[in-house]
Structure 1
Amino acid sequence: MMLWNKEIAKKVYDILKKEHKIEIEDYVSLWAYVTYKDPFKVLIATILSQSSTDKAALKSFKKLDEKIGVNPENLAKASIDDIREAIKESGLQNQKAKAIKEIAERLREMNIKELMEKDLKVAREKLIELPKIGYKTADVLLATFNKNILPVDTHVERVSKRLGIVRKEAKYEEIRKTLEEIFPQNTWHDIHLLFIAHGRKICKAKKPLCNSCKLFEYCENPKTQIRV
């Protein structure tokens, strides 16, 4: 078993940085941030990406903005049916439409821009009080607005476990804290995006391309043993 440390983590970061180019439209939350610099829009984009592809989430976001307008006032007034119809391509549209409307209603009372200026812990706990917002969605929003936190999505979790950085049984907070310990703070946002890219393109859930993986020598996934 490899003992992960900051030196190995730096090598892995350098390899991934060289291997994967970050395209803004491949990450709907990042796209929303770059396009609008509006935390409410980034939050809605991130919700749409749940159990969906970023491509489908981006299409749904654009349609929602075109048909209704992605702001608390318009979405709070809109019917759930209209929201559902606009976002159906992202999947789970019934749950997401209901959550988006409720979030919009609540955020008309709460200034989300002011919330983003609060202490990380305070902002994080306030965000997860909202419907359909867990730590991952909250952390993506916080990290996008330069809070010092490393979000863990399904790709980040899978890559971290296959590389042996964390235990197979590790849950969200253990994974996040472990990654934050071994990677420099100024790389956390990049690591989040690079692990996603690696998980999508190489370290796939069902058929990982182990023979093409530049991280082969650091990986503890048994499937990599087929490489010669």
Structure 2
Amino acid sequence: MGHNLQSGRLRPVDLAREHGLSTQAVRNYEEAGILPAAGRTAHGYRTYTPLHAAALRAFLALVPGHGHQAAAAIMRAVNQGAAEEAFRLIDESHAGLLDDRRTLRAVEGALRDLGPAVEGAGTADPSFIGPLAAKLGIRPATLRKWERAGLLHPLRDPATGYRVYLGADVRDARLTRQLRRGGYLLEQIAPLIAHVRTAGGLAPLETALHDWHHRLATRSRAMLAGAAAFEAYLQRLG
């Protein structure tokens, strides 16, 4: 069964070949509601149209910027006639990207503000919980809470059992305090602290921050490309 360009009839393989997909993938997308329901020939074969081709292009263009799950939900919503829900999902993705940008700015600001003091913390003298809390202007209970959240890993004095904060712990505590002041949750701070530990300090994080900027810029451009393909699909839907 060949495709008929004049009638606009397309086979599953025609859609699949354009994107290097399998025909089964195209059928799966249809069954998932990402594509509108296909027509059927008298013999039961699926038939698609340029509308289905536009839907597939839109979905695949949305994935890099919004992720597979969100892109699928956007396409299902519009195919079900719920355009407002599709727009809401798109807005949520953009809001999430903006939050990521704000987090990056906060991280960079915290690192810049702490700067040499935190870098020098790696060679600072060990400290006990009371003096460190007083130095940071917080309660000892707060340091214990940060420890339970995995942000700090103090040693224990073998003779007394008291917590002993080495230079790296002081550095991480200072960084955590700065980010908490910026309104960030402990679970948002944890990945950064892990990066600091893995990198062995703040200076090596410059590469990680540069990569973070690059990922955000790439996602922004992917959202623009996805929006163009999605708008083309909406135009076809009328």
User: TM-score, structure 1 length as denominator?
Assistant: 0.29
User: TM-score, structure 2 length as denominator?
Assistant: 0.28
Rg comparison, structure with higher value: 2
Structure with bigger strand share is: 2
* Higher RCO by CA contacts (8 Å cutoff, separation 6 or greater): 2
